[in-house]
Amino acid sequence: MSKLIIIPIVLFLAFISSAFVVTEGQSGIVMQFSKVKRDAEGQPVVLAPGLHFKVPVIDSIRIMDTRIQTLDDQADRFVTSEKKDLIIDSYVKWQIDDLAVYYLATGGNKLQAEALLKRKINNGLRNEIGAHTIKEIVSGKRGEVMETALKRMARSSELGIKVIDVRIKKINLPDEVSNSVYKRMRAERQAVAREHRSEGQEKSEIIRANVDRKVSIMIAEANKNVAEVRGEGDAQSSKIYADSYAQDGEFFAFLRSMKAYENSFSDKDDVMVLSPDSEFFKFMNSKE
């Protein structure tokens, strides 16, 4: 009776230890005594997603993520054909292409795989960037550089990895170079600003001088017109006065004397010492 109970338990445990599941987005390879199990044609046995069984103790399974991965690490320094440094930030899209080669090259460790891949990518980019100038990399040939680097990486199969895409996200100059470039740009802009200010000041002086000259001419013409009008008014006044005086000279002499009396005695503190028969009192002494 006990044997009948033990046998199902052993079979159940054997089933549990031999059954395993490969989830969606993953693939597995079978290792037998630390070697990759291969089929009759010598190809590695690749396990697709689903339920699988292995031989306990003899077989071990290595499951790896076969989805597209993104390698996005820190920016690196590269040298152009002009011997100028550039800080380039790039990313790589990659995917496992050969599970057996990938496992043998990296031990199935993603971090190890990315470290090796990054080294290869950087070497490829370094060769491409070293063959171009900064202007070519930043402008029209940037896409060409990426395409050439991608082709070189795609032909590389020692890691069992397929490089799907290589892209540059950002290109910067090193900090020490950027500072010197910014200082030079600032100095150039300041020089241009000073030149514009100088030209503006010169034009301002010319405009101000022209305005001052026009104002002086206008004031002179106005003074001339004023003098002419005043002269004409004085002439007309003198003529009117002469004509009026010619009509009755005695009367106008009397008016002038009255005006003189008024001006002389406008202040009660005024004192005049004159002879009674003075010409000043001519009209006061007249008995007519």
* CATH number of residue 128's parent domain: 3.30.479.30
Cα–Cα distance for residue pair 288/286, rounded to 1 Å: 6
Is residue 216 situated within a structural domain? Answer: no
pLDDT value, residue 80: 79
Full residue range of the structural domain in which residue 100 is found: 69-178
* The total number of structural domains that make up the chain: 2
Same domain, yes or no: 26 and 79? no
159 and 135 fall within a common domain: yes
- Residues 87 and 30 placed together within one structural domain of the fold: no
**Burial tier of 150 (Cβ tally within 10 Å: 0-12, 13-18, 19+):** buried
Position with higher pLDDT, 140 vs 186: 186
Residues 46, 118 within the same domain: no
Q: 159, 178, 197 — which closes off a domain? A: 178
Question: Does 104 fall in a domain?
Answer: yes
Residues 90, 160, single domain; the answer is yes
Is there a single domain that holds both residue 52 and residue 84?
no
Q: What confidence tier does 9 reach under pLDDT thresholds 50, 70, 90?
A: low
Is there a single domain that holds both residue 79 and residue 167?
yes
Ranges 140-144, 186-190, 277-281: which has the least confidence: 277-281
172-213 tens-digit pLDDT = 777 666 566 667 778 888 888 888 888 888 888 899 889 988
Residue 77 shares a structural domain with residue 54: no
Residues 50 and 140 in one domain: no
100 lies in some domain: yes
Better pLDDT: 117 or 150: 117
pLDDT at 155 over 60: no
Q: Residue 278 falls within a domain, yes or no?
A: no
Residues 131 and 85 in one domain: yes
Q: 105 exposed, middle or buried (CB, 10 Å; 0-12, 13-18, 19+)?
A: middle
